[in-house]
Structure 1
Amino acid sequence: MFRWLPLVAAVFCCQAEAVSLPVAAVAASRSQPAADASGEPSLEEKKAAYAALANILQNDQSRTELINQLRSASESTAKTEDPVLTPPDEEEDKTVLESVTDVSRQFGSEVLGKVEKLHRNIVNAPHKTFNPKTFYNALSHFAMLAIALFAFYWLLCRAATPLYRRMGSWGRRKNSERTSWLHLPAMILGAFIIDLLLLGIALFVGQMLSDTLNAGSRTIARQQGLFLSAFALIEFFKAILRLIFCPRYPQLRFFHLSDERANYWNTRLSWLSSVIGYGLLVIVPIVSNQVNVQAAALVNLVLMCLITGWALYLIFRNRRPVQLALVQLADRSMSFFSLFIRAFAVIWHWLASAYFIALFLLSIFNPGDSLRFMMSATVRSLAIIGLGALISGVLSRWISKTIILSPELRRNYPELQKRVNGWVSMMLKLARTLTVFAVCLLLLNAWNLFDLWHWLTVGAGVKLVDVIIRIVMILFFSAVGWTLLASLIESRLASDSHGRPMPSARTRTLLTLFRNALAVVISTITIMILLSEIGVNIAPLLAGAGALGLAVSFGSQTLVKDIITGIFIQFENGMNTGDLVTIGAITGTVERMSIRSVGVRQDTGAYHIIPWSSITTFANFVRGIGSFVANYDVDRSEDSDKVNAALHEAVDELMQDETIRGMVIGEPNFAGLVGLTNQAFTVRVSFTTQPLKQWTVRFALDNRVKKHFDAAGIKAPHPTVQVMQNGSGLDAAAAVPALPAPE
């Protein structure tokens, strides 16, 4: 296979058959000596051919053109003629300034070309002789058709007035009852559809009138056809204005506008559309046909100058009132729409001015198609914005709602409902953002500022859509995986509806640590995959993370030691949250356990954070049992049997208490007399109790022992004081009796 590569590359490098090689590669391939007589390329030719072919395959455009040319050559039917491969044009890299200059030069040349074309058409247009008789005859038939059509359409609209009022009243009543928010929009849309049906009936009648009132003249019929086309376009735009402002039927008005403001804008915009539409689509073509092109161009220019000036006057005169009305609308709207409405309120007058200026320029250079393009782009823009607002509104309402799971699921999986609602809300917000992005692209496409279809099928849109789909799928599966695993862990942490007891403190601690570690792992993996999907090379990130981890491990040996010690203590079940422990000189309750430290709260309220690595030994008071040994000292002169009997009576009374008996494990252990001094002797009893109950039992025992000792007259030992006389020896000291200490 590889032996054919030099030959293929050599064919590409020939002067008449080269294919998009870089200039250096082509020069190098042409400067090599010719092949020998046997036809085998030399080593230098092979190297040059390999380099040239590599350069071709490295460039996306040249590789695509090479594949297309090779397929065309393979499908060629000529037998005597060799297929010829032509090199595509080379694209040189340009700076931003050069690109801007080229775009400006191209735009300026296009505008200059349009001006020259307009001047040439006006100057070179044939001059016709004005025939008043023909003109007035056509004007009379045209006026009869216009008057009849307007009268018929006015009667149709008047006849539908009761229907519009009933639809508006019914929609408002249903909307006030708040049974459903769809009734009023359905009535508004229904009224718009009825408007279009009436327009269609009027056009049908108008066509029949045109067939009757054209006096058998093709010229009059064509002029009447222009009027009918303009009538359809203008009345359709007026129907959209009535849909927005609805001046005669406030019940069908979707926006909160006063009747005065609605009449004001509907009247002026209707007049603007009528003058522009009938002027550009009817008057200018008729003047061009009946008089001459020069007069039509002058009429067009004067008409559009007047219309543009009037439109700009209306825009800037009402700039503040419209801005205030939009701000009030934003205050009544949802937060998502409020942001866009406030932004539109700031720049609406500039957008409207640009709209009419663009219409003026287009009507000058292309009077035939300018209005149709502007009307088509306007209607499509309104439809796109309306559909996008509807979808965004539905998504916003869904976001505000909450998914309610069954009581059994909420009991078994406490955090599942909150987590599911969080993920659903995030996905709906992402869908709403994509909707706004799609609306922006469709608006640009509607005004021919962006070729959406080419971008989605051939351009960068294919890759972008593919990346978005991949990202959404990755986020979806990550969310599902995390939700399932976290819910299972939380289900294990909670008590079961079937009577399963609560897990131990050790189990809760380990599951909590595992859940946190799982969240970190899933988040890290998801972020890495997303970065890889959007084209970020994660190999340097992984290498840098490894090097950073190594550096951190050397610089934070104590931290690593804390983590390792904490893990082993947890697996050995050394302590858990809620345990009473003694760590060094600190005794308190464990309130928090992390992977690095333990938090202990003393009975004084002091909170201590103790790193795991600093713990060498600790005592846990809740492991299995609790116990205590009670020693009671009595005077040496007391009878030991009497003392033991009193102690037994106190213990028996204690054990008869059901609350205390439930805390004691087994039977008390009496040791009897365990200590003897010159002044006292000691009796002992020991108890085994439930964990952390030894102090409760000890306090209750001390209370009963005191009561029984006092009843039996058993005295506590009294300390004695020995007096030593000066100058006396041991004999004198021994002769003086010891005096009791003052009570």
Structure 2
Amino acid sequence: MRWILFILFILLGAPAHAVSIPGVTTSTSSQPGAAPTTEPDVEQKKAAYAALADVLENETSRKELIAQLRTVAKTPPAEPVPKITPPTLTEEKTVLENVTDISRQYGDALSGKFAQLYRNITDAPHKPFNSQSFTNALTHFLMLAASVFTFYWVIRLCTLPLYRKMGQWARNKNRDRSNWLQLPAMIVGAFIIDLLLLALTLFVGQILSDKMNAGSRTIAFQQSLFLNAFALIEFFKAILRLIFCPGVPDLRPFNLQDAGARYWNRRLSSLSSLIGYGLIVAVPIISNQVNVQVGAMANVIIMLCITLWALYLIFKNKREITEHLLDLAERSLAFFSLFIRAFALVWHWLASAYFIVLFFFSLFDPGNSLKFMMGATVRSLIIIGAAAFISGVFSRWIAKTITLSPDMQRNYPELQKRLNNWLSMALKVARFLTVCIAAMLLLNAWGLFDFWNWLHYGAGEKTVDILIRIALILFFSAIGWTVLASLIENRLASDVHGRPLPSARTRTLLTLFRNALAVIISTITIMIVLSEIGVNIAPLLAGAGALGLAVSFGSQTLVKDIITGIFIQFENGMNTGDLVTIGPLTGTVERMSIRSVGVRQDTGAYHIVPWSSITTFANFVRGIGSVVANYDVDRHEDADKANQALKDAVAAVMEIDDVRGLIIGEPSFSGIVGLTNTSFTLRVSFTTLPLKQWTVRFALDAQVKKHFDLAHIRTPVQTYQVLPAPTGGTAAAEPLPPDEPTL
């Protein structure tokens, strides 16, 4: 048995040490603390092989070896021990530490830029100066520059009369108010002609450059620098001429004085020429022809002079420009007035920052700084102009209103107002979004924010998707509310073609339904919008349910008021304008809400009565009115004579047209309905229109008084006894009743 184990160890262990198979070999041999395994020598291997031969030759030992091998094969391998890796700990920094790190990063970058500038000035390799080569290149450069400037000046001088005719024609058309498009079209046309002249000059300049470079790559490079600078600078000057237009005041888009326009056009043109030709032409030529150090120094001197000159112009004209901006704000729309006033307060700081940033950019990267600044400036002007134009269109649309046809206004009284409100709100939101997009595009133009990457990936795409969803939700909610509210208002409106006004009950119920509908639509819309922006509304719904349960327990009277009011309205108990008696109060119903009713007494007092406190009430305008008139007559009068006088008075009342139209049917005479020791009572009754019983009663009383007087019918006389005063100290005898009543 020991030989068998020894042979297995040799046969299985030796190849394992000789070959390492990835994924099969164990890791015990690679552990630092494992002891090295010794390789068996040749004699040991021979002895092992001989022992294996003996084992295989013996039948019993061979079977035992096979059984042991099968047992080993069936034994599962040992499970690997999992290796626990501790989590990576990240140190959380405070806000101050983050600000410090960012400041240090930008500070290091800025100091590196200054160090590079210092090395360019002090440690740049010297280049031998060849005066003959410099003079030759300068001569060809000046010849090309003079030719290009002369050609451009001549063609612009030839087109000046055309500009003047265009301006005069456009001003005359604008003055006649025949069409307001002529003047903007001519201004844009003059700008396009200016750009075409610039393109023609560049084409001619390129041809002249091919003829004047003398076959030198250096001269051709310098001339290409000049043409690039000329194109960039003259394009900027074309924009200045579009704004100020000093030669043709009729094509000036803004209300500027001629002197001011010439002043600013001349100053800004000179400043742009100095910047462009200094950075794009002079500095590269000096660095190439003279020395890199001299070119770096020239760049610093040129940009320092430009920056100081620009700051001088800014602060010299600060007050004048601020006053012009404030005056422009007074004449602008309210939306633009706010921005113009804000710009008037900070424009000088923005302009100063612009030239200071240009100064540092030109120091660190003189080759690309001007292109970047000019490109960012042009893009900024385009963005601001486009945003101002779009916002102006929105502002003009906001000032306008939708006017519906008279039939539509009559059938839907609030539809026009509601449509104008929705349209105004939508345009204001669109104008606000335009300003936000313009601000992000401005940041993108200056390299401070990657707008397009933000828009297509990550938060921007999600934000746009959420805004579109919210806009659709609000749009459909507004349409639903407008349609339903308009249908309700159509039911509340009368029609000149014969449809009468709805009853007060219907008006009250429809008004309550419209208010409830507004609350429901608003609540659902707010919940959906909150869910769209990522707010979990499940806690809000649960909290609203719990709050509703608590409120229901604490406001049982309010719930009772609402339920009672709804049932009274459905039963058509009272409506606005009815004369009612509620408890001790009698008055006219002026207002009915879902919780209470407002009653105005004839004294002017206004009472608010909760629905739940009404147990019984009387309504005087339900169907008909009734007059029951009782008249007392003296007992000694003739009953037939009195009854005839009453009939005559009623007949006189029935002959009055205004009163007869208020009486339904014929009066009813009841005769004597009461008898006392001093009088008897006659009764007559009428059926009238609702709330007209008092008018009929007043007219009847007047006629009864008149006819009773004509017939000498006396009303009852009040009697009383006069007792004589007692005499002396003796008791007075009981007086006898008088023979006649004494008044």
User: TM bucket by the smaller chain?
Assistant: 0.7 to 0.9
**Contact 2:325/2:341 (<8 A) preserved:** yes
For residue 741 of structure 2, what is the aligned residue in structure 1?
Answer: 739
Superposition map of 1:609-648 within 5 A: 609-648=608-647
Secondary structure of the 1:740 match is coil
CA distance in 2 between counterparts of 1:394 and 1:408 reads 30
Deviates more, 1:170-179 or 1:315-324: 170-179
Partner of 1:348: 347
- Name the counterpart of 2:397: 398
Q: What does residue range 5-404 of structure 1 map to in structure 2 within 5 Å?
A: 93-121=92-120, 125-404=124-403
| Deviations, residues 607-653 of structure 1 (Å, cap 9, x unaligned) | 22222222222211111111120001111122212222222222222
* Helix, strand or coil at the partner of 1:721: coil
Following superposition, the deviation at residue 458 of structure 1 comes to 1.4
CA distance in 1 between counterparts of 2:274 and 2:228 reads 14
Deviations 1:397-427 (A, max 9, x none): 0000011111111110011000000000000
Q: Offset of 1:523 from its aligned partner?
A: 1.4
Question: Do 2:226 and 2:281's aligned partners in 1 also have CA atoms closer than 8 Å?
Answer: yes
Q: Offset of 1:676 from its aligned partner?
A: 0.9
Distance 1:704 1:166 in 2: 94
Counterpart Cα distance in 2 of 1:161 and 1:37? 104
Instruction: Tell me the secondary structure at the aligned position of residue 215 of structure 1.
Output: coil
Separation in structure 2 between the aligned mates of residue 729 and residue 539 of structure 1, nearest angstrom: 99
Deviations 1:100-136 (A, max 9, x none): 1222222123223333444455556442221212211
Give the secondary-structure state (helix, strand or coil) at the position aligned to 1:632. Answer: strand
Matched with 1:77 is none
Paired letter, 2:346: I
- Tell me: CA distance 1:38–1:662, structure 2 relative to 1, closer, same or farther (3 Å): farther
Does structure 2 conserve the Cα–Cα contact (< 8 Å) formed by 1:719 and 1:740?
A: no
- Does the Cα contact within 8 Å between 1:722 and 1:738 map onto a contact in 2? no
Shift of 1:38: 5.7
What amino acid sits opposite 1:162 in the alignment?
P
Contact 1:720 1:738 (C-alpha < 8 Å) held by counterparts: no
Q: Which of 337-346 and 214-223 deviates more?
A: 214-223
Deviation at residue 657 of structure 1 after TM alignment: 2.6
1:558-707 to 2 correspondence within 5 Å?
Answer: 558-707=557-706
Return the alpha-carbon distance in structure 1 between the equivalents of residues 409 and 78 of structure 2.
80
Q: CA deviation at 1:180?
A: 4.6
**In structure 1, C-alpha distance between the alignment counterparts of 2:173 and 2:528, rounded to whole Å:** 51
Q: What does the per-residue CA deviation read over 1:690-717, in whole Å, with 9 as the maximum and x for residues that have no partner?
A: 1100001111111112222222222212
Counterparts of residues 434-449 of structure 1 (less than 5 Å): 434-449=433-448
Moved more, 343-352 or 551-560: 551-560
Q: Provide the rounded CA distance (Å) in 1 between the counterparts of 2:675 and 2:195.
A: 116
Which residue of 2 is the match for residue 709 of structure 1?
A: 708
CA distance in 1, matches of 2:97, 2:176: 64
User: What is the rounded CA distance, in whole Å, between the counterparts of 1:729 and 1:283 in structure 2?
Assistant: 149
Summarize the Cα distance change of 1:170–1:335 in structure 2 as closer, same or farther, 3 Å threshold. Answer: farther
State the Cα distance separating 1:723 from its structure 2 match.
4.3
Query: Matches of 1:209 and 1:251 in 2, distance apart?
Result: 36
Aligned AA for 1:186? A
Query: 2: distance between equivalents of 1:540 and 1:146?
Result: 75
Instruction: Count residues in correspondence.
Output: 667
> Which runs of structure 2 are paired with 1:456-495 in the superposition (5 Å)?
456-495=455-494
* Residue 4 of structure 1: aligned partner: none
Report percent identity of matched pairs.
69
Pick which of 647-656 and 631-640 moved more.
647-656
Q: Secondary structure at the match of 1:670?
A: strand
> Structure 1 residues 687 and 529 mapped into 2: Cα distance closer, same or farther (>3 Å)?
same
Cα offset for 1:480? 0.9
1:499 match: 498
Query: Secondary structure of 1:739's partner?
Result: coil
Amino acid aligned to 2:675: L
Deviations 1:20-60 (A, max 9, x none): xxxxxxxxxxxxxxxx9868989x979x99xx9xx9xxxxx
Separation (CA, whole Å) in 2 of partners of 1:287 and 1:156: 32
Kindly state the Cα deviation for residue 449 of structure 1 after the two structures are TM-superposed.
0.4
Partner residue, 1:33: none
Distance 1:39 1:225, change over 3 A: farther
Q: Which runs of 5+ in 2 are unaligned?
A: 1-22, 28-73
SS in 1 for 2:661: helix
Cα deviation for residue 487 of structure 1 reads 0.7
Measure the CA separation in 2 of the matches of 1:176 and 1:709: 87
Distance 1:645 1:327, change over 3 A: same
3-state secondary structure, aligned to 2:668: strand
CA distance in 1, matches of 2:241, 2:116: 39
Q: Give, in whole Å, the separation in 1 of the partners of 2:233 and 2:336.
A: 30
Letter in 2 for 1:683: L
Which moved further from structure 2: 106-115 or 249-258? Answer: 106-115
Tell me if structure 2 keeps the 8 A contact 1:471–1:533. yes
For residues 38 and 275 of structure 1, the distance between their equivalents in structure 2, rounded to whole angstroms, comes to 87
Q: 1:261, CA displacement in angstroms?
A: 1.5
Q: What do residues 527-573 of structure 1 show as CA deviations (whole Å, max 9, x unaligned)? A: 22222222222222222223333333333333233222222222221
What's the CA shift for 1:246? 1.5
Tell me if structure 2 keeps the 8 A contact 1:250–1:259: yes
Partner Cα distance (2:720, 2:233) in 1:
124
Output the CA distance in 2 between the equivalents of 1:729 and 1:682: 38
| Contact 2:120–2:296 (CA under 8 A) maintained in structure 1 | no
1:201 alignment partner, SS class: helix
SS at match of 1:160: helix
Take 2:233 and 2:257, find their aligned partners in 1: how far apart are those partners? 25
Q: Which of 113-122 and 195-204 deviates more?
A: 113-122
8 Å CA contact retained: 1:626, 1:694:
yes
CA-CA distance at 1:341 after TM superposition: 0.7
Secondary structure (helix, strand or coil) at the match of 1:438 reads helix
Matches for 1:398-437 after TM superposition, within 5 Å: 398-437=397-436
**Partners of 2:625 and 2:712 in 1: CA distance:** 32
One-letter code of the match for 1:618? F
Letter in 1 for 2:110: V
Taking the aligned partners of 2:264 and 2:419, their CA distance within structure 1 comes to 47
User: How far apart, CA to CA, are the structure 2 residues paired with 1:37 and 1:311?
Assistant: 90
Cα deviation, residue 182, structure 1: 3.6
The answer for the alignment partner of 1:73 in structure 2 is none
Q: Give me the TM-score of the superposition, normalised by structure 1.
A: 0.86
**Matched residues in 2 for 1:360 and 1:692: separation?**
91
User: Contact 2:671 / 2:683 at 8 angstroms: preserved in 1?
Assistant: yes
Bigger Cα displacement from structure 2, 542-551 vs 634-643:
542-551
CA distance in 2, matches of 1:315, 1:345: 13
Amino acid at match of 2:742: P
Counterpart code for 2:405: S
One-letter identity of the residue aligned with 2:446: W
**Could you say what secondary structure the match of 2:669 adopts?**
strand
SS in 1 for 2:569: helix
Counterpart of 2:425 in structure 1: which amino acid?
Answer: M
Structure 1 residue identity aligned to 2:529: L
